[in-house]
Amino acid sequence: MMSSSIRLGRRELPLRRHPIDLSAAMAVCDANYLRLRKLLPDSGLGQTRAIGLAGKSGVPLAQVELSVVEQSRYTSTVRLYLSDCRGGMTHPYYQPPLLLVRLYHDAATAEVISYQGRAISGFVTVLGASAAFNPDEKEQVNQFLAECLQLCLECGLGEHPAPPRQAAPDLV
């Protein structure tokens, strides 16, 4: 029988459940899949793309590197790494974000499976006052991916820019 609390040292901490809004979580993952497919349309093994993120002056300040590191029939794994173009993010307490994202092609959804080299725990029971991880960690990391990909789509300076629009010929 499973107890509703756990003993840590002299303290007894109750187990708590984080409320899950599964439809909202899946909507974020589904939208991330569509964003990644726009940024990496040919998601074959070894494909890479670098996207510069420009500041107000138009000069790239950071770069998002996307690369397909694993490919199978129904899934792909994409590595996303955010690096600083100016060399300013080299503080010992700062690690540039590094995510591994699994794309499920048959379900048309994507989820973060690793953040900063650490596997992301799913929707699980969490200890009361535990500082090990947040109960909504998976939701937060998938939301971070959504914001990063949206920024790439809106403000990115890609190495594969879209061809310029052709003006309609004058009919004279």
Position 88 in a domain:
yes
Report the alpha-carbon distance of residue 38 to residue 147 in Å, rounded.
15
Structural domain total, the chain: 1
Whether the pLDDT of residue 138 is over 80: the answer is: yes
Nearest-5° Cα angle at 27, 22 to 29: 95
Whether the pLDDT of residue 41 is over 70: the answer is: yes
Q: Name which residue leads in pLDDT, 95 or 26.
A: 26
Position 171 in a domain:
no
Position 92 in a domain:
yes
Position 1 in a domain:
no
159-162: long-range pairs with CB below 8 Å, 24+? 159/49, 159/50, 159/51, 160/49
Q: How many CB atoms lie within 10 A of CB 84?
A: 14
Whether the pLDDT of residue 3 is over 80: the answer is: no
Structural domain range at position 115: 20-120+135-153
Q: How confident is the model at residue 143 (pLDDT cuts 50, 70, 90)?
A: very high
Position 159 in a domain:
no
Residue 7 half-sphere exposure toward CB, CA atoms < 13 A:
2
For residue 69, give every residue at least 6 positions away whose Cβ sits within 8 Å of its Cβ, in sequence order, or none.
45, 77, 78, 79, 100
pLDDT at 68: 94
Report the alpha-carbon distance of residue 10 to residue 32 in Å, rounded.
44
Position 27 in a domain:
yes
Report the predicted TM-score, pTM, of the whole model to 2 decimal places: 0.72
Position 99 in a domain:
yes
What is the average per-residue pLDDT within 145-162? 77
Share of the chain above pLDDT 90, in %: 33
pLDDT at 172: 41
pLDDT tens figures, 78-131: 999 988 766 655 567 777 889 999 999 999 999 999 988 777 765 444 444 444
pLDDT at 30: 96
